[in-house]
């Protein structure tokens, strides 16, 4: 009888353990402490060179592409991976200035590379600002590869639909439609460019924020509502980050509202990440702290942003903690003491 009871108890323990594992129960060790303000280094001690980054999360791995400012000017584009946005592994240089596309010359300023995955074609696509040294070209470029760390080939370069285009980002809507969004016509407007189904070309243009001189746009969607962060155009110097929202990507954007301090905590927007977990979804602002003190040592700054109906709490933190399993974030335990 005692033996039977023991067996039943043991079975109970196994069933409970199985249930909690399948629910993805998280423990204290799943919390990651994010620290801002320092250079990111790989395990080998190299500076992470991926400025104005773009991100793609595949399973539990974050991939990041960005400007290699190791030699400051004429950047290449590097690819890194990480499970926690803190420990970065260098995957490879995916675009080498003058080598990946020799026909386009080697003196280009390749800025704000952003990464997309096209589910239909199963290709990885990079869009970027493809600039001449005096920023006169005002062009974009698109590259693609069948593997994230594969060989990227040039698909297209030029002014999208003939429109002068500089600072850029990408956004994929819930139905899979992708957009390239950039600062257009000598920094006057923002252009929202719908991409073709394969994400390799631009098919439609909508002018947003006409004459308002915004750059560094970053869009995120919560429910049916789109939120956009952007900066003013002041070169490498930080300025006020502004928020706008709309329920329609192509029109009805609200007036620009100041968020955070008047220098965006010495950053400029690069991305808004969605960390969806078993319990919650956290949104992370990613910004560049340029020229800190030089381009090569520019820092990547990350902090959580809490959106309300029509605004957001945009507050810098030296440290915070995030749980990539549950999608929760919390103030840094040490900072509270």
Does 321 bind ligand DGJ (CB under 6 A)? Our answer is no
Instruction: Compute the least distance from the CB of residue 84 to ligand DGJ, in Å.
Output: 26
Residue number with CB closer to ligand DGJ (268 or 326): 268
- Residue 77 CA to its chain's centroid (Å): 14
111 near ligand DGJ, rule: CB under 6 A: yes
User: Which DSSP state fits 149?
Assistant: T
Q: Whose CA is closest to 54, among 79, 88, 90?
A: 79
CB closer to ligand DGJ, 59 vs 235: 235
Q: How far is the CB of 231 from ligand DGJ (least distance, A)?
A: 7
| Chain residue whose CB lies nearest ligand DGJ | 235
Kindly tell me which of 34 and 216 has the beta carbon lying closer to ligand DGJ: 216
Q: Least distance in Å: CB of 133 to ligand DGJ?
A: 11
Q: Give the separation between CA 73 and CA 83, rounded to whole angstroms.
A: 30
- Total residues contacting ligand DGJ (rule CB under 6 A)? 9
Q: State in angstroms the smallest separation of the CB of 104 from ligand DGJ.
A: 18
Position among 58, 210, 236, 333 found at the interface with ligand DGJ (CB under 6 A): 236
Contacts of ligand DGJ in 158-197 (CB under 6 A): 167
Q: Report if residue 268 touches ligand DGJ, rule: CB under 6 A.
A: yes
Selected from 141, 178, 181, 216, the binder of ligand DGJ by CB under 6 A is 216
DSSP string, 239-277: --EEEEEESBTTB-PPPPEEESSTTTTT-EEEEEEEEE-
Least Å distance, CB 273 to ligand DGJ, is 19
SS (H, E, C) 39-87: CCEECCCCECCCEEEEEEEECCEEEEEEEECCCCCCCEEEEEEECCCCC
Backbone angle region of 209, left / alpha / beta, with phi > 0 → left and psi within -120 to 50 → alpha: left
Compute the distance between CA of residue 310 and CA of residue 252 in angstroms, rounded to an integer: 13
235 binds ligand DGJ (CB under 6 A): yes
Of 235 and 293, nearer to ligand DGJ (C-beta) is 235
Place of tokens 């709490």: 313
Interface pick for ligand DGJ out of 34, 50, 52, 275 (rule CB under 6 A): 52
- Tell the residue number behind the tokens 């003013």, with chain if given: 232
8 A C-beta contact, residue 87 and residue 102: no
Q: Is 139 in the site for ligand DGJ (CB under 6 A)?
A: no
- Footprint of ligand DGJ (CB under 6 A): 52, 111-112, 167, 215-216, 235-236, 268
């Amino acid at each position: 009888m005692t033996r039977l009871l023991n067996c039943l108890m043991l079975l109970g323990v196994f069933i409970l353990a199985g249930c909690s594992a399948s629910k993805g129960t998280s423990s204290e060790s799943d919390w990651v402490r994010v620290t801002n303000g320092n250079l990111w280094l790989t395990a080998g001690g190299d500076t992470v060179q991926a400025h104005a980054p773009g991100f793609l999360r595949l399973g539990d791995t974050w991939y990041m592409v960005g400007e290699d400012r190791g030699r400051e000017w004429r950047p290449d584009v590097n690819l890194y991976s990480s499970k926690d946005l803190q420990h970065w592994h260098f995957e490879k240089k995916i675009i080498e200035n003058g080598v990946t596309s020799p026909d386009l010359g080697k003196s280009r300023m390749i800025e704000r590379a952003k990464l997309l995955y096209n589910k239909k074609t199963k290709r990885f696509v990079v869009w970027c600002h493809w600039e001449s040294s005096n920023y006169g070209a005002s062009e974009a470029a698109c590259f693609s590869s069948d593997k994230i760390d594969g060989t990227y080939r040039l698909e297209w370069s030029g002014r999208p639909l003939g429109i002068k285009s500089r600072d850029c980002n990408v956004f994929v809507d819930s139905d899979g439609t992708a957009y390239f969004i950039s600062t257009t016509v000598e920094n006057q407007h923002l252009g929202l460019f719908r991409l073709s189904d394969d994400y390799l070309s631009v098919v439609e243009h909508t002018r947003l924020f006409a004459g308002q001189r915004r750059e560094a746009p970053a869009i995120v969607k919560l429910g049916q509502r789109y939120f956009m962060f952007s900066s003013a155009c002041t070169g490498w110097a930080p300025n006020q980050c502004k928020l706008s929202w709309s329920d329609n990507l192509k029109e009805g954007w609200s007036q620009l509202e100041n968020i955070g301090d008047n220098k965006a905590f010495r950053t400029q927007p690069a991305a808004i990440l969605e960390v969806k977990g078993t319990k919650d979804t956290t949104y992370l602002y990613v910004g560049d702290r340029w020229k800190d003190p030089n381009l090569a040592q520019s820092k990547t700054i990350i902090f959580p942003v809490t959106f309300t109906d029509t605004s957001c709490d945009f507050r810098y933190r030296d440290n915070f903690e995030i749980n990539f399993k549950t999608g929760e974030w919390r103030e840094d335990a040490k900072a509270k003491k």
